[in-house]
Amino acid sequence: MPKIKMPKGTPSIDMTPMVDLAFLLVTFFMLTASFRTAEPVTVETPSSISDKIIPENVLMVTLDKDGRVFFNLSDPEARKEMLNEMLQKYKIGLTEEKIEEFSFMSTFGCTMQELPAYMNTEAAKRASFPTQGIPTDSTKNELLDWLSFAATAAGNTGRTAFEKAKLKGGEPKMEDFKPKFILRVDSKTLYKDAQTVIDVFRELNLNNLNFVTSAEAIPVN
Amino acid sequence: MAQIAESGGGDHGKGKGKKRAKKGSTHVDMTPMVDLAFLLLTFFVLTSTFSKPKVMPLAYPAKPKVNDPIPPKANNVTTFILADDKVYYYRGEFYPKSRPGENGPTELSEANFGSGENSVRKLLASWNEYVIKNKAELDKKLDKKQIADSTYENRLNKLTVEREAVKVLIKTDDKALCKSFIDLVDELKIASIGVIAPTELSAGEKELLKAKN
């Protein structure tokens, strides 16, 4: 019986097309990727048909499913201004370094008392920082202070950005630079909890709110 | 490993003293590069978020001031009540049992978020037909560039406050979830309802709700 000859040496497969494709995909993803910023809470937003993209200059209040309140202001400069006002009002000290760090953080949520400890926690561990979120009860409404300072600060930076855009030429609209007020709620948050936050906004006469939603197809009739 | 260039290495045994140039192509081992490429690919695929989150605008009524005049009664108002995971509605003014209107006292009807019978979508589509029809005409005009964007918006705004247009009040009880609230507002936007006002439950409505559960 003739033996079956096994081919000698290593069989080589031409991998060029695969590698080409891999690099194409890498390039594509690298260029299109926008990164998720680290958030201390995970929020599953409800869906809607709205196709309005989230604006640039925003004050965002986040409510997780237990009703804890978190806050985010997008503009770093305004954040610094807001934090300084808050520290002054509550007579709490933070090092210059930490203030700088705060201005580049994203969403945060803790009482003013907890703030120094919160800032001293490692960035990665802040998500598990034991806190009840920003207090909103009428006796100690810290959210109201955060919001009012943030609205002024973001209004100021928005105005300077508008002036800059004007100098550059073109016809910028002031409307695009004004801070927008965003509410991010979890699907399972009680509306009652959202309402306390909404009432804080309304207290400051900020009535035009936006809810963060994930996109959903428009139903065809 | 996937492929390692070894083909040029068989020269030893054949030696007749002659020096021969190596035959065959010079392979560069690309395995590490490919490994890295795939590593990056996986990383980007897993970390990138594609769709930016969207926002749904909703204007809340301003807090009433002390000397505010009493607002005029709006025509064609529908009230939706979100309780637990249920949706109730009644049309027109609220008439308690002690002071019934022309059609007797107000009763709550139940609706749902599906797309079949008694769904919010179907109900709104039939109530707000007037606006939906007129909006379709405006849309057509906008598509054909007969009217400018700003005129379109102006007219749409005017249309939604007309007498025939449905206006909606949303009331929630303590157990209502944000999801149903957003779902409801979403349905209202689908039905092109322009006047949406989230407000508080009145005592009479609370009683009706209690009777329902």
At B17 the pLDDT is 57
Q: What does the CA dihedral B131, B136, B137, B142 come to, rounded to 10 degrees?
A: 120
Nearest to B178 among A19, A46, A209 (CB): A46
Chain B closest-CA separation from residue A116 CA (Å): 31
Q: Which residues of B touch A209 (CB under 8 A)?
A: 57-60
Cα A22 to Cα A219: distance, rounded to the nearest angstrom: 37
Arithmetic mean of pLDDT, A99-107: 86
Q: Which residue has the higher pLDDT, B195 or B66?
A: B195
Predicted confidence (pLDDT) per residue in B98-107, tens digit: 777 777 788 8
* Nearest-by-CA chain B residue for A45: B179
- How sure is the predictor about B16, in pLDDT bands with cuts at 50, 70 and 90? low
Residue among A53, A37, A64, A71 at smallest CA distance from A212: A53
**Encoded tokens for B115:** 């797309």
Arithmetic mean of pLDDT, A212-218: 81
Q: Test A29 with B7 for CB contact under 8 angstroms.
A: no
At B19 the pLDDT is 65
**Encoded tokens for A3:** 């033996």
- How sure is the predictor about A24, in pLDDT bands with cuts at 50, 70 and 90? very high
- Which residues pair with residue B58 across a beta bridge? A209
Nearest to A215 among B34, B51, B63 (CB): B51
Q: Does A19 touch chain B (CB under 8 A)?
A: yes
Predicted confidence (pLDDT) per residue in B186-197, tens digit: 888 888 888 888
Q: Does A111 touch chain B (CB under 8 A)?
A: no
pTM exceeding the 0.95 threshold for the entire prediction: no
- Which residues pair with residue B55 across a beta bridge? A52, A212
Q: Does B28 touch chain A (CB under 8 A)?
A: no
Pairing of strands B167-172, A180-185: unpaired
Pairing of strands A58-63, A180-185: parallel
- How sure is the predictor about A35, in pLDDT bands with cuts at 50, 70 and 90? low
- How sure is the predictor about A37, in pLDDT bands with cuts at 50, 70 and 90? low
